[in-house]
């Protein structure tokens, strides 16, 4: 049986869950864009590997953080 506190604090719990989901989506989008930017640096712009690979790795880490 639900207590009155459950009814009172439900909007706050829902807002917290929505904020967590929005944060994960934002981190995932940022990781995806960084990986794409790293590949853009690597392939058509011919930037050295020591510059492009860390950008790709950071993007991959952000994507993994968004998923797990």
Q: What are the sequence ranges of the domains in the chain?
A: 34-68
What is the predicted pLDDT for the residue at 1? 67
Cα 29 to Cα 67: distance, rounded to the nearest angstrom: 11
pLDDT interval class at 5 (50, 70, 90) = confident
Q: Round the CA-based radius of gyration of the chain to a whole number and report it.
A: 19
What are the tens digits of pLDDT across the range 15-41?
999 999 999 999 999 999 999 999 999
DSSP label at residue 45: S
Which of 6-14's residues contact partners 24+ apart within 8 Å by CB, and which partners? Answer: none
Higher-pLDDT residue of 35, 4: 35
Helices (H) and strands (E) in the chain, counts: 2, 0
Q: Which residue has the tokens 């989008």?
A: 29
- What pTM was computed for the model? 0.81
Q: Average model confidence (pLDDT) for the chain?
A: 93
What is the predicted pLDDT for the residue at 27? 97
């Amino acid at each position: 049986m639900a207590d009155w506190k459950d009814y009172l604090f439900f909007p706050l719990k829902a807002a917290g869950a929505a904020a967590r989901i929005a944060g994960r989506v934002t981190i995932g989008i940022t990781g995806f864009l960084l990986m794409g930017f790293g590949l853009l640096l690597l392939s058509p712009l011919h930037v050295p590997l020591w510059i492009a690979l860390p950008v790709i790795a950071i993007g991959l880490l952000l994507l993994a953080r968004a998923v797990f």
